[in-house]
Structure formats: C-alpha cells, structure tokens
Amino acid sequence: MAVEQFPGEPISQTGRADDDPYAGTGLPALGFRNYWYPVMAAWRLGRKPKAVKVLGEDIVVFRDKGKLYALAERCPHRGARLSQGKCLYPGSGTISCPYHGWTFSGETGACVAKLMEGPEASAAREIAVKSYPVRELRGAVWVFVGDIEAPRLEDEVPEVLSATEDWHGFATWRTYRCNWRIMKDNLCHDMHAPFVHRNSPELMFQPVFPFASRLAAFPLEDDSGIGYVSKDGVPSADYPGLGTFPPKQETWYRFLKPTGRGKEIKAEDRAVVRYGVKYRQSSLMPGATFIGRPSGDYFVLRWVTPIDADSNFYYSWSLFRRQGWWRTLKQRLFWVCWLSWAHDWLFSDQDKRILEKVIPGKELHSRTDAGMIAWRRYAADHARRRAEGDAKPAETLRPPAAE
Ligand code: FES
Ligand SMILES: [Fe+2]
C-alpha cells in the first residue's frame, strides 16, 4: 500500500478524471455546481485576503470596509495569486495583484487599473477575472460556485440556520483528505454507527445503538433532499460460530441509559409542528446532512464542501433554540465542555481515520447501504444543471419533484 512508502501521503481516491471509480453514481468528482457552499469561518477573514479552493476552483475571498468579495484567484496577466495581493485602496472594493499591480473590482472582476503601466493603460476593463456571489451566514463565508444566477442563500439552507434571532449555535470545521462523495456517503444514515462509534467517549457506556434495522428514504416536501426512517433494529445478536455482537467483553461497562439519539420524530413533536422537520436525519442537496431532535430544541447541520477530487471541507453546526439566558448558558457550557470534543472531534475522528484510507473501486452493496444508495440516486436525479447556453435563474432549472 502506498502509505507504507510515503507515510502521511493521501491515497488518490479518484485517479484521473476519465478513470473515476464513482462515475457510475452520477455524482461528479468535484461536486455539484450551482449551489452555495461554506468555505471558511468568517472570523478567519481579517484584513488579509484568503485563498480557498472550492469544487476545484481557486478563489480569493477578501473584505473591504466590511463588505465581502470573491474572485478567481489567478491573475490573468502572468498567473500570480491575488490572495498574495491586497486591497491597496480601502473603500474601493478592489484587490491589487502582488506582482505588477493589476487591480480588479471585487464586484465585477473587471481590471480597473494596471498600476505599473500608468493611468492611460489601454483596455484595462476588457480584462476580467470571474467574480463569485459571496455571503456571510451563521459565522461562515459562503460562496456560490456555478454558471447560473445565484438563488438567495437563506432559501437554500434549513430555516434554523438562518434564523439567528431564535437560534444560537456553534460550528466546527475540518478538512478531510478524501473525495467528497466518500464523506457524504458516510453521513447517509449509514449503518456503521453501532459498529464504528460504539466505543467513542460519547457512547461508550451506553447500550450499542440498534442495528440490523430496515431503512427507508422519502423525498422531502420542498424537494431539497430525502429523509430517512429506520425500524426494527436489535441491540445485540448471536452469530453462529463467532459469538455475540457486541462481544461479551464489551458489554459489562454499558450501564448508562440510551440518550434520545435513537428516537424517531412523531407528527405531534415540536420539530414537525413548528419547524416542519419530519425526519431524524435527512440528506440535503448539494451534500448536506440535517439531524433533528423530536423536541425541536436542537438541530445539527453538516455541510460537505468539495475542495478538489481528493479532499473536502466539512462544516458542522450544532444549533440550539434560544430559551432564555440560563438555558443558553447551560447549552454553551455543554457544547464547550463536552460536545465539541466528544462528538465533533473524537467521534468524527473514528470516521475520518477510515474514510481517508478508503480504496475506491467496485462496491458490493448490502443492507447497510440503503441510505447511501437512496442519496446517490436522489442527488444524481435532482442536481441543478445548466441547460446548454441557458442562464435562467435556478428555480426554473429545477427538475420536477420526485414521485
Ligand atoms: S501577474 Fe498579476 S499583475 Fe502581473
Ligand atoms: Fe460515523
């Protein structure tokens, strides 16, 4: 295995574009274009421009007088990185290339001056770099990557993410060195959790989650994704010739009662009545996962942003309904002292270790993969695609809802 010769080197999980082992899924190696993606925490973007890579595109994001801009990173003159340049004229909304000072409008991408050629430099405005729609929402910088008019970001995310006055939240983010599809497959109510996470600090002393359950997926009413329902799991089982799972030596310390994680949402629960969230877990376009709790007091949103064919950026929000300062304080402490490291770090690490070493190739699907298969089908069928030569707003390009 390559990792023996080159410890720490990532295994290329996609190979050449014409040799993509996941091509048959209909999910592109570089992610779905024509969607918004979170690309970095907003507080990390100070006075200096920052380079990000999204869906294989190199982008510079910068602020000028508080306003955000995103442009293609490569200067068309001789290829210098605009993220190494700076906003030389604060308030102008421009960025100047670090090499010969070509200066670009953050709004339109047009070259407004070639500083080293004098103010009379000809035809500067005929040169432009691509400009990207960019927004800040819930502490993250979001960029729209695509070829159509960007829809409103608030219409593209669950209500609880944008309703900052009713919800407070925390976010963590990490880079995974694996293709985004491998990452998203893992987040499709995949039946690995009772196995992989059974001894995570978060779940170690609880009974193992029910497994061997039946999973069904349903399209969401607003056509934003699919919701999962699972039924009939068992907490342990005997395997002839092997013994019991979980193995005997792992059962004596499971003395805690299970927490509410396993409960399905019922029609009368606040999650449904107030927020219209019917499913405990759903997969949303273009690669997000939304986890609801029946109480409607706590939701989790996880967004997978493809960086390139071999890495992705994983942004995860824990969102709590505001219920007075005392509850807010307790929720903050709970997240800082426990959830942030027990879940977002150690629990996720158990997946990360596996996903980053996956060897792509032919897959033999089984019952554990029902959620993933449903997601792949839905996503391949419902992705926004730009009709050839067409620049209509996204809504008009949406395929009809699933049956
Ligand atoms: S490379 Fe950018 S101005 Fe020359
Ligand atoms: Fe997991």
Give me the pLDDT at residue 268, please. 87
What is the best residue among 86, 99, 117, 129 to mutate for testing ligand 1's pocket, by most ligand atoms within 8 Å of CB?
99
Give me the pLDDT at residue 262, please. 59
Residue 276, pLDDT > 90, answer: no
Within 10 A of 91 (CB to CB), how many other CB atoms are there? Answer: 9
Ligand 1 atom 4 nearest Cα: 100
User: Is the shortest distance between the CB of 81 and ligand 1 below 6 Å?
Assistant: no
Ligand 1 atom 1 nearest Cα: 78
Longest dimension (CA), the chain: 85
Query: What average pLDDT score do residues 114-142 get?
Result: 91
What is the best residue among 58, 86, 102, 115 to mutate for testing ligand 1's pocket, by most ligand atoms within 8 Å of CB?
102
Taking the C-alpha atoms of residue 243 and residue 61, their distance in angstroms, rounded to an integer, is 56
By the 8 A CB rule, do 61 and 68 touch?
yes
Q: Which ligand 1 atom sits nearest the alpha carbon of residue 102?
A: 3
Ligand sitting nearest the alpha carbon of 291: 2
Query: What average pLDDT score do residues 363-383 get?
Result: 94
- In angstroms, the first-to-last Cα distance of the chain is 45
List, for residues 11-26, the tens digit of each pLDDT value: 444 544 457 889 889 9
DSSP β-ladder status, 67-72 and 94-96: unpaired
List, for residues 158-212, the tens digit of each pLDDT value: 999 999 889 999 999 999 999 999 999 999 998 899 999 999 988 888 888 889 9
pTM to 2 decimal places? 0.90
Q: Which domains does the chain have, with CATH numbers?
A: 34-135 (2.102.10.10), 166-385+392-397 (3.90.380.10)
